């Protein structure tokens, strides 16, 4: 359906009312939010790797922003932690000083989440008051706020799974929490590309376009498989590469019943799946990069495909290193960070391939 004259006039009026730097300011804000989300994911990863996630046993969105301020407050928090299974079965005899070490990781993770909320709402209200957001961007950015609220609820839902019968959080809920964080990051990156004018690009061959747009969801699935590995501590089970227990295909992949549980609860199968899917992702990106290098119509497509391949090689090296070194925290966090960076590049790549002609967002 073609645009009506009145719609075109309204759009032009909106564009004229905004100063030239408005789009740039909104774009910087969205990218800053994306970086803050990555920082929160990294602190969350450290919280998981240090087994700190259950140190705060209550969800207080407002008053929880303050840490214990007195010795009595610290003892009260410690006493709450001493009531959960993790203390009795894993950390029996922990001192108050040792408790403080894990408490600060979880508190920092939650505080960073509050910071992300403030980083959203204050500029959002400013841009709204100034009229710097088009109607479309208003609703799209508000959608990011809704996703952030959902993520907070998912985070507590995850923590709650480890407070009653378990000594850690559910790997299913951990995967949901990480998956939502990564999706919010991708959504913010995508939103930043919807602001203002977009450059013209020639259409790519269908094969390159389809394969390029497939890479992002494939990487996302691999990140979820990695979350299952983290949730079950499966990375510690077979610290060798390329073989597992001396075999390419280890024994015990289907030992649980029903069979589909193995993909989620069998440590051997979970690590095997993460390894095998990594090979698939690497092969997919390598084939796409080679095809783009030879046949892409745009230099940008070739550069993005080549960058994805280079980052993938780094990610593979980090993944193997994490395995054979026994999952040291610095290597594991680097592996997580590069995965998110790779996913972000794939999202940008897919968006650039979406249509040969990018129009102003207000249109």
User: Which among 15-24, 195-204, 336-345 has the top mean pLDDT?
Assistant: 336-345
Q: Which of 53-62, 150-159, 278-287 has the lowest mean pLDDT?
A: 53-62
pLDDT recorded at residue 17 = 59
**Region at 359 (left for phi over 0; alpha for psi -120 to 50; beta for the rest):** beta
pLDDT greater than 60 at residue 271 = yes
Among 344, 104, 298, 90, residue whose Cα is nearest residue 205: 298
pLDDT recorded at residue 5 = 41
User: Average pLDDT over the chain, rounded to whole?
Assistant: 90
What are the CB-based long-range contacts (under 8 Å, 24+) for 313-321?
Answer: 314/338, 315/339, 315/342, 316/278, 316/282, 319/278, 320/241
Residue ranges of domains in the chain: 1-196, 200-363
Give the count of alpha carbons within 13 A of 156, CB side only: 12
pLDDT greater than 70 at residue 361 = no
**For range 210-225, the mean pLDDT:** 97
Among 118, 16, 12, residue whose Cα is nearest residue 65: 118
Centre a 10 Å sphere on the Cβ of residue 156 and count the other Cβ atoms it contains.
15
Tens of pLDDT, residue by residue over 295-348, are 998 999 999 999 999 999 999 999 999 999 999 999 999 999 999 999 999 999
Non-local CB neighbours of 357 within 8 Å, separated by 6+ positions: 200, 201
pLDDT recorded at residue 19 = 78
Tens of pLDDT, residue by residue over 111-136, are 999 999 999 999 999 999 999 998 99
Phi (first) and psi of residue 200, to 5 degrees: -75, 140
pLDDT recorded at residue 284 = 97
Tokens of 225: 């498989």
pLDDT-derived band at 141 (thresholds 50, 70, 90) equals: very high
């Amino acid at each position: 359906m073609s645009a009506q004259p009145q719609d075109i006039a309204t759009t032009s009026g909106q564009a004229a009312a905004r100063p030239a730097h408005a789009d740039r300011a909104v774009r910087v804000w969205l990218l800053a939010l994306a970086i803050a989300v990555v920082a929160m994911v990294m602190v969350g990863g450290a919280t998981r790797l240090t087994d700190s996630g259950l140190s705060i046993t209550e969800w207080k969105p407002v008053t929880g922003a303050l840490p214990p301020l007195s010795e009595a407050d610290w003892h009260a928090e410690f006493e709450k932690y001493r009531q959960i299974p993790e203390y009795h079965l894993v950390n029996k005899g922990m001192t108050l000083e040792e408790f403080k070490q894990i408490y600060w990781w979880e508190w920092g993770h939650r505080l960073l989440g509050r910071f992300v909320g403030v980083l959203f709402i204050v500029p959002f209200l400013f841009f709204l008051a100034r009229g710097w957001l088009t109607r479309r961007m208003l609703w799209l950015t508000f959608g990011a706020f809704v996703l952030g609220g959902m993520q907070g609820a998912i985070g507590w839902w995850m923590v709650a799974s480890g407070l009653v019968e378990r000594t850690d959080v559910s790997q299913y809920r951990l995967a949901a929490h990480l998956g939502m964080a990564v999706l919010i990051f991708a959504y913010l990156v995508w939103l930043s590309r919807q602001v203002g004018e977009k450059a013209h690009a020639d259409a790519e061959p269908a094969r390159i376009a389809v394969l390029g747009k497939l890479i992002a969801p494939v990487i996302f699935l691999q990140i979820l498989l990695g979350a299952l590995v983290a949730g079950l501590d499966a990375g510690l089970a077979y610290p060798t590469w390329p073989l597992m227990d001396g075999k390419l295909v280890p024994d015990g992949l289907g030992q649980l019943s029903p069979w589909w549980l193995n993909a989620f609860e069998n440590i051997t199968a979970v690590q095997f799946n993460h390894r095998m899917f990594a090979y698939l992702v690497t092969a997919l990106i390598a084939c796409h990069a080679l095809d783009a290098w030879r046949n892409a119509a745009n230099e940008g497509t070739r550069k993005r495909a080549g960058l994805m391949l280079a980052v993938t090689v780094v990610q593979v090296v980090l993944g193997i290193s994490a395995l054979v070194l026994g999952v040291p925290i610095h290597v594991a966090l680097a592996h997580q960070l590069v995965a998110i960076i790779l996913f972000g590049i794939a999202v940008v790549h897919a968006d650039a391939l979406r249509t040969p002609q990018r129009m102003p967002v207000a249109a």
